[in-house]
Structures are given as C-alpha cells and as structure tokens.
Chain A
Amino acid sequence: MTSLVSKSNGHQSVINDFQIMIATVNGSGSQTANTVLLRAIFRMGIPVTGKNIFPSNIQGLPTWFSIRVNKHGYIARLEDYHVLVAMSQQTIGEDIEMLASGGICLYPEEWKIKRTRQDITYYPMPVKALTDMADVPANLRPYIANMVYVGVLATILDIDLSQIAFAIDYHFNGKAKPVNMNMAVVRAAYEWAQDHIAKSDPYTVEHMDTTNGMLLIDGNSAAALGAVFGGVSVVAWYPITPSTSLIDALRQDLTDLRTDPDTGEATYAVIQAEDEIGAIGMVIGAGWAGARAMTATSGPGISLMSEFAGMAYYAEVPAVIWDVQRMGPSTGLPTRTSQGDLISAYFLGHGDTRHVVLLPGSIPEVFEFGWRAFDLADRLQTLIFVLSDLDLGMNLWMSPPFEYPDTPLDRGKILTAEELDNLDRKYARYEDWDGDGIGYRVLPGTDRDTGAYLARGTGHNAQAVYSERAKDWVENMERLNRKHDTARQLVPQPVVDQVDGAEIGLIAYGTTDACVVEGRERLQQQGIKTSYLRVRALPFSDVTCDFIDQHDRVYVIENNTDGQMARLLRMEYPELAARVFSLAYADGLPLTPRWMTTAILEQER
C-alpha cells in the first residue's frame, strides 16, 4: 500500500517499536475497534500485545486499551505510550499529559481542546461528521464511531487495510451486515485521513514475518481448552471477575467438543452454583465420586472456599481450582491484576494445610497446566490450584499453537472391583503401600464390599474410621507430608537460565515473566549480568534452593505488595534467607521493565 502522506518529516522513523494507548468510555463498543487494530498488526507479522485496563462498571467510565508493537517480541507493559487515541472526554487532559514526548494524539475535532503541548503532534478527527455520513442506524452510531480511529490510524501508521478487513471479518464471524457497516466507516476515515492529514510524526508499522503460524488468544480461553483436553467432566462455578470468561469459554468448548451429535447428550455438566462454597463443594463431591472436576474463581471466591479446601486436603479428594487473580484485599480492585493470592492459595484452610499450586507464565503453559492439573490431582489425590491472573487471563497474547497432550490421562491410584478381589492384603483407604504418601482410592459404585469407606474431614485412621487417637493423627499428618514431598517431584519444575559469572539471580513466576525477560536485557545493556529462575509450581523444587545458593543476591520480582513469594522462599530455606531480596509492587497494572531495572539498580548501587 502506498501512502499519500509524507513520512516522518525530518524525524527519524520509529518502525514497529512503540505503544498505542486508546482511551475510551466503557460500554461504547471500543473493544471491537481495539482488537481489530491489534489483530491487523499481528497479521502483518509484527509482534504485538494488547492490554485492556477497564473499570468495574457496565457503562460510562473511562477505559484504556494499550497496544504494544515491538519488533523484538517484547510483550511487557510499558509506562510510556507514543500514540494516543483520546476518545474519553473525562480523561483527555490527563491522557495527553502522559503522552511521551514526540508522540501523537488523535482526538475528535468537535471537542475543541486546547493544544497545550508543543512536543507532540495533534491530529483532530472529524468523528461526528464521518459517522453521520455513514449508512448506519442512528442507535448504532456511537458504536461505529470507534471505527473512525481505526481508519485514521491505518493511514497514519500505515496499517495494511486488507488486514483490517480480515480482522473485522474474523471479529464478526463473517456476518456480512456488521462487517460491511464497520468496514465502510474504516474506509471513509482512512480516505479522509489520506486526503487531510499531513503526517509529521515518526511512528509507523512495516510488515515482518515473526508471527506466522502464531495465534492470538486470551489466557482464560487457553485454560478452558486445556481443561477440555484434560478430560474435565464436572464444572461448578460462581460468576466473578476476572474468571468468568474462563467458564464462558469452557461452556462453549464443551458444547462443541463433548456433546453427542446424534443424541445431544452431554459427557459433562456445568453447574452455576449459588456461591463459591457451593461451587467447591460440588467439585469435591464430583472428584470424590471419580469425575474430573474443576472450578474457576478469583480472590474473594478463594476466601470462601477455604473450609472446603482444607477438607479436600485432609480427606484427599482430587479437583482443580483455577484462581484468576485480581487485586485484594477484600473486594479490592476487581478489574485490575495482581499476584496476591499466592500465600492464601498455598495454605488455604485452617490447621496444617499445604496445597499444590501451579503457576503458568505463558499461554502455552496455561493450556498445558490446564490439562496436566487433572493428572496431578488424580495422581496426588488432592486439590490442584492453578494461579493465573487478570493480565494473563483476560488479555490477548501471541502464542504458538498448543501441543496435544503427550501422555494419556493419568487417573492415579484407583482400585477396580477385580483389583480388590486380587489384593494380597486388606484394603485401607489411607494406607501408604508405596511409600509415596498416597493411598488407593475405590470409587463409590464399585461393586465390592471391601472397598467402601466413609470420607470425612474428622480425624481418621488408615481405614477412614473416625479416630481421636494421637498416633493415628500424627501418622496421618506424616503421610501427608510425604505426599507433599512426592508432589515436589511431580509438579512442573522451574525454568532456569543460568548465566556464567552472574552474581545476581532473579526469581519470578506467572505473568511477571514478560517484565523480567525485558528487564534483564536492559540490565545486560548496563553491564549487569543476571541469572533467572522462573518458579512454575509449589511446593518448591530443590532446583530453586540450588539457584539461591549459587547467587550472592537473589531478587524476587512479583506483582503484589507483601512480597509473598520472597516470604515463602525465606520460610522454606531459612539458611538462605539473607540472600533473598523482595522486589514487590502492585498498583493494579502489570509490572514494567523500567520499574524492575530501576528497582534493581537502586539496590545494586
């Protein structure tokens, strides 16, 4: 495509390396425009990430959508943005103030704003005129207005119009009417800009080939697919942001993939519970009866699930709990991201309780842990928590295609009727025959007298019979500790990048990875070498202990206020506690490389 506007006007071009910030009002339909832009750039082969920063509200409050374009493939959030689309009258002053020097600001010309900054370029857009001209019913005009900035940006940034058309077609599932209506506005705005805008800024996109074969997906959709390919059959849940879209995706996937096309019968059940206590209770009941059961929730739901979680730990019932974390304590910031549930998930329940917690750090891991969690739950006969967060769960990320599970379903130790007949000893639910702390389950409905037992949260002996004997209690807890050590070997091990001569080690987990990867590169440019270990599960692996031991100073980078991972590490390895430094920060947004490098440089000086 040839552009009529003159490029860069004396500036050095900035190609495929900037961030766009689109400020809108929620409920205005801007999501369509924003994802269309994101997808079009992605389809031009350029690495891209999008983040939706939205309020807990249905309509009328300011919302931001950032699109980072980066030719090196960095996907962390940046504080700075270079291209501002100012469509929110409430925040336009502040939004312009935050725009990086040399940046550009697109805004509706009818707002008549004062141009207070000399170091940026203003591009007024005739939003009202262009939407009034469009052949669109009046009630849809406010929604279609967002397509104006798509068209104008296409001209200014040189975004391939055919890819925008493709993205619109994808978004509306090929439905001609909305596709044509939206595309007509894009074209009109594009042509207006070609005729009326004299480009005087450096920002532009150019085709690359780095995203070929990749896909764009949000973490919650990836988690849902993981669960389906993990063979989930009972889902119970209660709506809570930001986990709801995980269940929405799961319901759709199950309908598509697990409904008998002839009879319409389902090989699954999805039950919307009355609250999170009901949800986890159903999941535990189903797990006990032998189904692969899961729920998805967020912090407040995790709090409500506490009593049942402790029970499932003690009665040893398998199930999977996704926690798509948001900001706490309390209701906190329901639509903002955080890694604040690490400690509460690990120890959820009263008394001596330690759960298995998986910490996916990328979309492929979200999918993989999605199915693997069920195998671990059945193998370990316990709850498996998977901690995602709002950033990973609700934003769109690039990913290679998912790999089909490389192992068959592992249902763990379950004795069938025939196996009960051939036992060389008397069956006891909680006896540790293999030395790994894990007993054998017999599922309800197994047609043998010898396999029946009464699952309970009360003190019990190896036969699952109520017991207040001190010896029974102690033996049981010792066995649960053995099981925890077995889990240590079975959970995903840390990913380590050990750098020769690095005195500094970095430890992170989950979505913080994006920030750490880029931050390390920046530190490297300043001559600071770092090794990096990404924790992928609790309980900790010995690899983590060795890593701390091999470095003088280990910074633990995480998106919460208390430094929860750092605290767990100090608790687990008290002899190494003095080497563990916490770099924890939470303001509702994903961590940035600038924050990380500044924090480390301050410590190192």
Chain B
Amino acid sequence: MVTKARVNEIGLTRNDYKGRPSTLCLGCGHNSIANQIIAVCYEMSLNPHDLIKLSGIGCSSKSPAYFLNRSHGFNALHGRMPAIATGATTANRRLIAIGVSGDGDTGSIGLGQFKHMVRRNVPVVYIVENNGVYALTKGQFSATADFGQQLKYAGVNELPPIDVCLEALAADASFVARSFAGDSNQVRQLLKAAISHKGTAVLDIISPCVTFNNHETSTKSYPYGKAHEEPLQDITYIPEYEPIVVKVHEPGEVQAVQMHDGSHLMLKKLDPDQHDPTDKVGAFHLLEEARQAHQFITGLIYVDAKRQTLAEISHLIDTPLALLPEERLRPPREALDSIMEHLTCCRKV
C-alpha cells in the first residue's frame, strides 16, 4: 500500500527540505540542528527558493550542504559569513537568510564581522553551533571553551570564555537566544521565532562535538547539557494565521511577544521571578549571573521586534536591487548631459 507523503501548505513534503547526506560525525549536535532547520522550514511552509543558507568555515559551516537542497547557498570564508549575508540580503531584500557558524568562526576569527552585522541588524538567522572546540583541526580550544577546562591534546584552558550572547547584546542585538542541540523542541520554537524576526536573530546553540569535547567535565557536552539545562521558558511559536489559544490568565506567567510578521511567541515562565526578554538590562544581568554561577540557561534572552534593519535604515526600495531593470539602474542620457553641461560651463546648477 502506498501512503501519500504529508505535504505542507505549499505542497512540499519534509523530504523536499532535505540536503545531501551529512558527512559530520555520527551523533554530532550539528546534524540535529540541521534536522530542526529542515523541520521548521517545512512546518512554516517556506518556499525553499526564497531561502539562502550561508556559512563560514569549520564543521558547523559544512552543514548548509545537509539541508535545503532546493535553496541557494554560500559557503564563505572563515569568520566572514556576516559580510556575505550583509551583501546578499542588501542585494535582494526578499531573501530569507539562514546562516550557520561555529564558535571558532564567530567567537574568534569572525568576532568583528559578527558584532558589526549585529550592530547593523542585517536580516539573517545567525546560528552559532557552539561546541567549545576546533574539531576540523583536531581538538584545540575555541574562545568559548570554559576556563580551566581540560582537553586531551590542548591541555588546560587558561583563558575566560567569550559569551556569544553577551557579545551580541553589547552590539545592540535585536534577538538573542541560547539553546541546546539536545533540546530539539526548544531549538525548533526558537528557530521559528528567529525566522519571523526581521533583523539579526542570534541563536547560540550548544552543540556537542562527540569526537573531541563530549566528556562529562565539558559544559558543551550532551551529558552536561542534559543534566544542567535550565530553560527560562516553555516556548510555543504561534504563526500569524493561527489564533492565540493560550489564554493569558495571569500576567507574569505567560508572556506573548509579537514578532514583526504578526506571529507570536508564547513564553510560559518556569519561575515567576524570571526574566522578561524585552528587558535589555535584565538580559545583561541574567547572562552575567549565569556565567558566574556556571548555569546553563536556555531560551529567549532578548528581543526587540521593532529595531530597524539595515535595509530600512538604507531606505531601500521594495524591489530587490538585484532585479532592477536597466531603466532603474542607469540614469538617462539627459542626466549625463546635464552633469556635463554643468561641469563644462563651470557653474553649479
């Protein structure tokens, strides 16, 4: 018996969002994230032709090959995906950009580009698959590795870690979230929210490296993550076309955050005193306190759905620049004649 595969609202199956088979290690957190990207794009009924997938260099950055075969992609240079994202989304503002980076790519070589992309609020879902280690070069510490952590070949890490979320917040990020590759539901909900966000959405996802950094003493491991993850909220993403079914009975318990595209994020707080993700100063406190207390908090840390994007600041027309016809790109002959006339007669007009 042939069962018909389920299709989404634009008639595509989940398989239509897949990529090539992964060449990453079995059990790698990055594979799990790739699967959530596939699931989310399918569930949101996104047209793969509207999506672009971008990355830098490293294990994480290989993964765009493993999802969205029907989408264009650009596997850029080490740490330089933000620049490619900035150029591509400026050239065509209709594109939905999903970028995948790693902790070396973002936290070290690309930290400058990362912060400037965030500062410009370039419309991109920027995922950091954070495992605290350089795996392709066989196990050096990355800048997000814990202070005092030990690795087989690298020895003891004597430097404090860079916190990707804190860096993003300090650069005026409009969307900052942290998650854990082992918490696929949360990853999915946050990805949906990130895709609905109009500016840069930074998703710092702890994504264990099963080969080099998955032992229990590592805070970037599955065992540690499963044992210590402290979600801030139960997150439910509600698309713009669905009614909000969760009734807000008691303020402070469930918080509804409206995204730019009209969708909502329902945040059920797990602790009544917990963080309001629209409070920026609170977000700084939360991150720094968690850092000092070695707490592994996950969830939506900060969101400002209204901050202007680079395209808005640039007053770009709606038509993608890349698709403008000649008559919109090349001024007419009369325009050149008039400039020449002004220059030859030496009088400003």
Contact = CB atoms under 8 A, between A and B. Distances in A.
A371 B348 CA distance: 24
Interface of B: 20, 47-50, 52-53, 64-65, 69-77, 80, 82-92, 94-95, 112-113, 116, 120, 310-311, 314-318, 320-324, 326, 328-331, 333, 335-337, 339-340, 343-344, 346-348
Nearest to B115: A274
A45 to B, nearest CB: 12
B8 to A, nearest CB: 15
Given A289-B91, A449-B70, A267 B336 contact: no
Interface in A433-476: 442-449, 451-458, 465-466
Given A408-B326, A455-B75, A446 B49 contact: yes
Contacts of B89: 285, 289
Given A174-B348, A271-B120, A291-B91, 13 more contacts: A225-B336, A233-B321, A236-B83, A271-B314, A281-B76, A286-B87, A291-B90, A401-B340, A444-B92, A445-B50, A448-B49, A455-B73, A457-B75
Nearest to B112: A274
B324 A452 contact: no
16 contacts: A236-B86, A263-B317, A265-B315, A269-B311, A269-B316, A270-B314, A274-B112, A281-B113, A288-B87, A289-B322, A308-B77, A311-B77, A445-B49, A445-B323, A449-B49, A457-B75
B331 A228 contact: yes
A233 B325 CA distance: 11
B121 to A, nearest CB: 12
Nearest to A217: B343
A266 B315 contact: yes
Contacts of B20: 465
Q: For this complex, into which size category does the number of interface residues on chain A fall?
A: 35 or more
B98 to A, nearest CB: 12
Nearest to A257: B331
A4 to B, nearest CB: 28
Contacts of B310: 269, 271
A495 interface: no
B343 A216 contact: yes
B86 A281 contact: yes
Contacts of A215: 340, 343-344
Interface string A230-248: 1111101000000000000
A39 B348 CA distance: 14
Interface of A: 39, 43, 166-167, 169-170, 173-174, 213-217, 225, 228-234, 236, 257-260, 263-271, 273-275, 277-293, 307-308, 311, 371, 401-402, 404-405, 408-409, 442-449, 451-458, 465-466
Nearest to A285: B87
Contacts of B321: 233-234, 267-269, 286, 291
A266 B116 contact: no
Given A230-B330, A257-B335, A401-B344, A267 B317 contact: yes
B50 to A, nearest CB: 7
B62 to A, nearest CB: 8
A263 B328 CA distance: 14
* Most-contacted residue by chain A among B20, B73, B91, B321 (CB, 10 A): B91
Contacts of A445: 49-50, 72, 92, 94-95, 320, 322-323
Contacts of A283: 87
* Most-contacted residue by chain A among B50, B70, B76 (CB, 10 A): B76
A258 B47 CA distance: 31
Contact of A167 (B52, B83, B337, B346): B346
B322 A173 contact: no
B315 to A, nearest CB: 5
A92 B260 CA distance: 66
Given A267-B324, A404-B333, A404-B336, A277 B95 contact: no
Nearest to A166: B346
A451 B49 CA distance: 9
Contacts of B95: 289, 444-445
A230 B326 CA distance: 9
A275 B315 CA distance: 23
B17 to A, nearest CB: 12
A274 B113 contact: yes
A173 B95 CA distance: 43
A267 B65 CA distance: 33
Given A275-B112, A453-B72, A229 B83 contact: no
A285 B122 CA distance: 13
A233 B91 contact: yes
A233 B92 CA distance: 11
Contact of B87 (A234, A265, A311): A234
